[in-house]
Amino acid sequence: MQTRLQEMKQSALAQISQVADGAQLQELRVKYLGKKGELTELLRGMGSLSPEERPVVGQLVNEVRSALEEAFAGKQAALEEAQLAAKLASQSVDVTLPGRPIPAGTMHPLSRIIEEIEDIFIGLGFDIAEGPEVELDHFNFEMLNLPKDHPARDMQDSFYVTEEILMRTHTSPVQARTMLKKEGKTPVKIICPGKVYRRDDDDATHSHQFTQIEGLVVDKGIRMSDLKGTLLTFARQMFGPNQQVRLRPSFFPFTEPSAEVDLQCFKCGGEGCRVCKQTGWIEILGSGMVHPRVLEMAGYDPQEVSGFAFGMGVERIAMLKYGVEDIRHFYTNDVRFLKQFNRS
């Protein structure tokens, strides 16, 4: 009996180790440990044993059973592990294949620059004012101290619709409109982004339609030094914390004194390069103290209040910032151009 038990154990363990899949293992389990299995059959033969032999054999049976159970469990785990490994192996993907396409659009480079500038000035307490693109001569010129026959009208040849109505040549009429609307109240702090139109032949550096951003501050006690400080703050936020601004005397009919504003070249940082024509500076803004006649016409007393105004070309900033060599790219909308502006 004991010998048979030992033989059975040996043969069972050998068979278990040979098993290749779960079904076979289950078959073996039934064969040895099932209700009608061999071990059970042997146990039935226990009755014929002597009382002395019984505990010894009984213990041996238990030992064999637990040895077999352990072997079955071990084998089961091994099989499952192998199965999982096989499954994982079969599931692996080529991680270098491209992912499913998710469409992602882009903001127009001019909109990007405009929003960036808007956000900076909103932070400085400015509102965003807008006005019509088709404008009265009165607002486009006369309210800005450019009466008919003024020589400076030469500077901006215009698209007229009628004698009194034209495509605005700059965003400055929004200044006049905003001040009139405020009816003499202070402070006025606005920037006005928008499209403007001039009679220029389209080429790499000229466009009959382009974009400006105008700024205006009117309040008691506004000084030219405030203009300088405001522009410096803007320049540092927009172009980097070490930016410098430089003002040069200039002329605009609607400001007095007037200034061209240069920024340190953001290509070379002021060292001198092709972009800044070796000067280290780039002309980027026109500005000045609001002309007393402009204040007066818009209902403000130049003895009481003063103001400053500035204006810049969005295309110029975009061209410098992104190195765009042809202004027409902004308006032909080649998707290969647009799609490059996909990062923040």
Binding residues for Mg(2+): 256
List the one residue out of 25, 21, 65, 26 whose CA is nearest residue 42: 65
φ/ψ region of 63 (left if φ > 0, alpha if ψ in -120 to 50, else beta) reads alpha
Query: Tokens standing for 65?
Result: 């059973």
Identity of the residue, 26 or 233, whose beta carbon is nearer to other proteins in the bound complex: 233
d(CA 195, CA 238): 21
Identity of the residue, 86 or 161, whose beta carbon is nearer to other proteins in the bound complex: 161
Check residue 89 for interaction with other proteins (CB under 8 A).
no
Segment 186 to 215, residues that bind other proteins, using CB under 8 A: 186-187, 189, 195, 197, 199, 201, 208-209
Choosing from 74, 123, 147, 240, the residue that interacts with other proteins (CB under 8 A) is 123
Identity of the residue, 67 or 155, whose beta carbon is nearer to other proteins in the bound complex: 155
Segment 143 to 172, residues that bind other proteins, using CB under 8 A: 149-152, 154-155, 159-163, 165, 167
Choosing from 26, 251, 299, 326, the residue that interacts with other proteins (CB under 8 A) is 251
d(CA 14, CA 8): 10
The number of angstroms, rounded, from the C-alpha of 256 to the middle of its chain's C-alpha atoms is 41
CB of residue 34 to other proteins, shortest distance in Å: 45
d(CA 44, CA 314): 99
Segment 97 to 116, residues that bind other proteins, using CB under 8 A: 97-98, 100-108, 110-111, 115
Identity of the residue, 212 or 306, whose beta carbon is nearer to other proteins in the bound complex: 306
Choosing from 325, 332, 343, 344, the residue that interacts with other proteins (CB under 8 A) is 332
Q: From the CB of residue 258, how many other CB atoms can be counted at a distance below 10 Å?
A: 19
- Options 7-15, 47-55, 79-87, 124-132: segment touching other proteins (CB under 8 A): 124-132
Identity of the residue, 86 or 122, whose beta carbon is nearer to other proteins in the bound complex: 122
d(CA 96, CA 108): 32
Kindly give the pairing relationship between strand 127-128 and strand 188-197.
parallel
Identity of the residue, 37 or 302, whose beta carbon is nearer to other proteins in the bound complex: 302
User: What sign does the dihedral 223-224-228-231 (CA atoms) show?
Assistant: positive
CB of residue 249 to other proteins, shortest distance in Å: 3
Q: Crossing angle of helices 22-33/53-91, nearest 10°?
A: 170
Segment 266 to 325, residues that bind other proteins, using CB under 8 A: 289, 291-293, 306
Check residue 185 for interaction with other proteins (CB under 8 A).
no
Check: CB of residue 297 under 8 Å from CB of residue 141: no
Choosing from 35, 44, 274, 336, the residue that interacts with other proteins (CB under 8 A) is 336
3-state secondary structure (DSSP) of residue 308: strand
